[in-house]
Structure 1
Amino acid sequence: MSTLPQNKPQNNMTYKIECVVRSFLSIVDRVFALLAISALLGIIAVVLLQVVSRFMLPSSPIWTEELSRYLFIYLIVLSSGLVISRNRHVRLELFQAALNPVWTKIYHIFCHLLAGSFALYILPYAIKYAQIGRWQTSPALEVPMYWAFLSVSFFFALTAFYSFMSVLLILLDRDNQGVSS
C-alpha cells in the first residue's frame, strides 16, 4: 500500500515538476557523459599514437602531448557536473551520519548552495581569464589558448548549474531522506 498522498494538487504538481527537471537533467547528463567519454577516447588514441610513433617511427609528433593535456583538462571539466549530479563530490561527512533526515537534507542544500554561489561569484573572473588567451597560441597545435583557458569558465558554469539543480531536486523530492514537501 502506498503511503504517498494521491489527490493533493500541490504534491501532484511538485511531482510533475520533479519529473520534468529529472528528464531535462538526464538529457544534459547524457550529453556531458558522451563528451567526457569522447575526451577520454581521444586521450587514449593520442597517447597510443605517441607511444607507437616513439617505437616505430624515426620521430614522434610534438603535438600529441599538448593535445592529450587539453583533452585531459576538458575530461575533468565535463565530468565535474556529473560528479555533482550523482552527489559524489568531496565534502565533509564526518558528522553527517549523526544528523537526522531533515538536517541531512538541510546540510546537502547548504553544501550545494555554497558551491554554486562560489562558482557564480568566480565565473566572471574566469571569463576574464579566458580572454587573456585570445592573444596567445599553443606552442605545438597553434590554436588560440582561449580554448584552454575557457575550460575554467566551463567548469564554474557547470558547477553552478549542477549545484543549483541539485538544490531544486532536493527541495522537490518528497521521498528523499523520508521528508515530505
Structure 2
Amino acid sequence: MLKKITSIIDTIQFLLFVSFVSISFLQVFFRYVLNNSLTWAEEISRYMFIWLVFLGSALCIQRRTHIGVDLLISNFKGLPKKLVLTINDALIIGLMLILLREGLAILPTLWMQYSSALGIPMAYIYASVPVGAALMGIYSLLDIYRIWYKNETASTEGQVD
C-alpha cells in the first residue's frame, strides 16, 4: 500500500515538474521571442512549484534523503542511535501536527479568495501545506517503525546498520 502511494506521488511530481518546466519555457519563449507574455504562466508555475516542494519534502522524509548533519548520529550504535533517531522523528511529527492543524484552519477562509490570473480558489494552493504535513508525519511514523522493528537505523536510504 505504501509503495503504491509513493508511486502515485512520484507520478504526480513527475507530471508537475514536466508541466512546470514546459510552461516556464513557453513563458520565456512568448516573452522574449514573440514579445507577447502569457498572463497565466508565471502564476501557475509558482503554484506547481509550491506543490512540488511539499510533495518532494514528504518523499525525502520517506526515503531519508533530507539534508542533515549526521556527525552525532554516525558516532552512535545500537540503542543510543535508535533513541536519537526516534527523538528526531518525534520532533518532526510534532512540527507536522502543528502545520497540519494550522493548514487546515486557514483553508475555509481561502475558498472565497481567488488567484488573480487563473481565478481558482487559493484553497487549492494552500492545501499543499496540510497534505504535505500529513504525508511527512506519516512517513516519520513509519520511520520510527523501521528503526525499532526492522533495525534500520541508517540516516540515508539503503544503508542499514
State TM-score, norm by structure 2. Answer: 0.87
Of the two, which has the highest radius of gyration?
Answer: 1
The amino acid of 2:26's aligned partner reads L
Is the alpha carbon distance of 1:100 and 1:169 closer, same or farther for their aligned partners in structure 2, counting shifts above 3 Å?
closer
Shift of the alpha carbon at 1:58? Answer: 4.0
In structure 1, what is the Cα distance between the partners aligned to 2:135 and 2:63?
14
Shift of the alpha carbon at 1:25? Answer: 2.1
Aligned length: 156
Shift of the alpha carbon at 1:46? Answer: 0.5
Aligned to 1:142: 119
1:60 aligns with 2:20: no
The amino acid of 2:75's aligned partner reads A
Whether contact under 8 Å (2:99, 2:129) holds in the other structure is no
Which of 22, 33, 41 is matched with 2:10 structurally? 33
Shift of the alpha carbon at 1:124? Answer: 1.6
Shift of the alpha carbon at 1:108? Answer: 1.4
Shift of the alpha carbon at 1:176? Answer: 5.1
1:154 aligns with 2:136: no
In structure 2, what is the Cα distance between the partners aligned to 1:131 and 1:151?
14
Aligned to 1:17: none
Which structure is higher in helix share? 1
State TM-score, norm by structure 1. Answer: 0.78
Shift of the alpha carbon at 1:92? Answer: 4.0
Aligned to 1:171: 148
Which of 71, 81, 90 is matched with 2:58 structurally? 81
Which of 61, 79, 94 is matched with 1:117 structurally? 94
In structure 2, what is the Cα distance between the partners aligned to 1:175 and 1:84?
14
- Superposed CA RMSD in Å reads 1.9
Whether contact under 8 Å (1:80, 1:158) holds in the other structure is no
The range that moved more, 122-131 or 29-38, is: 122-131
* % identical aligned pairs: 26
The amino acid of 1:129's aligned partner reads I
In structure 2, what is the Cα distance between the partners aligned to 1:136 and 1:175?
45
Mark the runs of 5 or more structure 1 residues left unpaired by the alignment.
Answer: 1-23
Mark the runs of 5 or more structure 2 residues left unpaired by the alignment.
Answer: 155-159
The amino acid of 2:21's aligned partner reads I
Which of 53, 57, 79 is matched with 1:102 structurally? 79
